[in-house]
């Protein structure tokens, strides 16, 4: 029989997902994959909000999740626009290629 | 039953996220991330938050990931390239990446340590009663009305900014 999930198991799961996201930001060398890793981190935080919401029997966490998803949409739109602009300049997606502030 | 579903969905979300990080092809990363998001939506349903699950599916997997897919297809860069030049090697060479890996491992250990020290808190027992969307709506439009309106301004600014950033500059 599997153990019943406690609040701690949900928090642990979201910590694992957050750690995976940070590792992706540090290790990947493709701007798009780095943005995807940021999305993984945002989702880990959302899971924490929803789990604590269920634990306390409130709805505030779900409202915060709504705002986080909206901000994630804005972030993705602006981030991808910057990716397209960068790709136009250097024909590359490696963040290490963009070492100069001016060109 | 709920316990089994939790462990299956958790394993699915973690596996898919690890594979997202492990892929060299951004196309596969995006598709695997959708799998991870759907598993998380299942967890939200288990937690009795159908509203969060539905907006997760509609906005995250339906809108944001499609945006990512569009950009990946538009740019058509299948794999990561080797960085060239001295400055690039200093920033992205083996040593800085190893340093980054150590930092993220330290962060993970800190999080596990902190959560491991917590007393075990059981979820409220009994059947999961889903939160009413009605309650969320009342809270959202009464107590969080200002934040809601501010969000609309944020979306507008992001939209205009994205159009200006991605526009071809007239020469």
pLDDT, tens digit, for every residue of B14-53?
999 999 998 888 889 999 999 999 999 999 999 888 999 9
The pLDDT tens digits of the residues spanning B43-100 come to: 999 988 899 999 999 999 999 999 999 999 988 766 665 555 666 566 666 777 788 8
B3 and B73 share one domain: yes
Domains and CATH numbers, chain A: 7-91 (1.10.287.3510)
Predicted pLDDT of residue A57: 84
Q: Which positions in chain A touch B84 (Cβ < 8 Å)? A: 97
- Window 22-61 of A, Cβ < 8 Å to B: 22-30, 32-33, 35-37, 39-40, 43, 46-47, 50-51, 53-55, 57, 59-60
Q: Which positions ≥6 away from B72 have C-beta within 8 Å?
A: A32, B26, B27, B30
**In this structure, is residue B114 part of a structural domain?**
no
Residue A55 CA, distance from chain mean position: 23
A69 touches chain B (CB under 8 A): yes
Residue with tokens 């804005």: A74
Residue with tokens 């290629």: A97
The DSSP symbol for B131 reads: P
Based on the fold, state whether residues B1 and B73 are members of the same structural domain.
Answer: yes
Nearest to A78 among B3, B52, B158 (CB): B158
Establish if A7 touches chain B: CB-CB under 8 angstroms.
yes
**CB-closest option in B4, B18, B87 to A99:** B87
Interatomic CA distance for residues A14 and B15, integer angstroms: 13
- Residue B97: strand, helix, or coil: helix
Which tokens is B158 given?
Answer: 């992001």
DSSP structural state of residue A95: G
CA distance A50 to B132: 14
User: Is B99 within the bounds of a domain?
Assistant: no
Task: Check residue A86 and give its pLDDT.
Answer: 87
* pLDDT at B154 exceeding the cut of 60: yes
Domain annotation covers residue B97: no
Q: Give me the helices (H) in chain B, please.
A: 2-22, 26-46, 50-55, 65-75, 86-92, 94-117, 133-142, 145-166
Q: What SS3 string covers A63-93?
A: HHHHHHHHHHHHHHHHHHHHHHHHHHHHCCC
Instruction: Write out the DSSP string of B132-158.
Output: PHHHHHHHHHHTTHHHHHHHHHHHHHH
| Model confidence band, residue A88 (pLDDT cutoffs 50, 70, 90) | confident
The reply to whether B19 touches chain A by the CB within 8 Å rule is no
Q: What is the pLDDT of residue B124?
A: 77
Domain residue limits at B170: 132-171
pLDDT at B10: 94
Query: What's the CATH number where B28 sits?
Result: 1.20.120.1200
CA distance A16 to A52: 17
In-domain check, residue B105: no
State residue B121's pLDDT score.
Answer: 81
Chain-chain contact of B122 with A29 (C-beta, under 8 angstroms): no
Q: What is the average pLDDT score of chain B? A: 86
User: What pLDDT score does B81 carry?
Assistant: 58
Which residues 6+ apart lie within 8 Å of B73 measured at CB? Answer: B27
- As given in the structure block, the two tokens for residue A80 are 């991808």
> Percentage of chain B with pLDDT > 70?
86
CB A55 within 8 A of CB A29: no
Number of domains in chain B: 2
Residue A1 has pLDDT above 80, yes or no: no
| pLDDT tens for each residue of A17-76 | 999 999 999 888 888 999 999 999 999 999 999 999 988 888 899 999 999 999 999 999
CA A98 to CA A94: how far, in whole Å? 8
């Amino acid at each position: 029989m599997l153990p019943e999930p406690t609040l701690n198991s949900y928090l642990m799961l979201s910590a694992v997902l957050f750690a995976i996201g940070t590792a992706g930001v540090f290790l990947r060398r493709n701007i798009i994959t780095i943005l995807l890793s940021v999305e993984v981190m945002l989702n880990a935080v959302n899971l924490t909000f929803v789990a604590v919401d269920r634990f306390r029997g409130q709805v505030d966490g779900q409202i915060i999740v709504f705002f986080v998803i909206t901000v994630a949409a804005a972030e993705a739109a602006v981030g991808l626009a910057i990716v397209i602009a960068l790709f136009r300049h250097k024909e590359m997606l490696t963040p290490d290629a963009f070492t100069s502030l001016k060109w | 039953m709920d316990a089994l579903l939790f462990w299956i969905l958790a394993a699915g979300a973690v596996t898919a996220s690890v594979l997202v990080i492990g892929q060299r092809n951004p196309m596969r990363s995006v598709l695997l991330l959708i799998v991870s998001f759907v598993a998380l939506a299942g967890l939200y349903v288990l937690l009795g938050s159908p509203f969060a699950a539905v907006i997760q599916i509609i906005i995250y997997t339906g809108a944001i990931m499609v945006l990512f897919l569009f950009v990946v297809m538009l740019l058509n860069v299948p794999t990561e390239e080797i960085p060239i030049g001295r400055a690039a090697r200093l920033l992205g060479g083996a040593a800085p990446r190893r340093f980054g890996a150590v930092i993220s491992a330290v962060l993970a250990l800190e999080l596990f340590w902190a959560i491991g020290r917590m007393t075990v808190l059981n979820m409220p027992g009994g059947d999961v009663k889903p939160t009413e969307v009605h309650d969320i709506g009342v809270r959202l439009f009464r107590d969080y009305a200002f934040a809601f309106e501010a969000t609309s301004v944020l979306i507008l600014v992001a939209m205009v900014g994205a159009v200006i950033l991605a526009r071809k500059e007239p020469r």
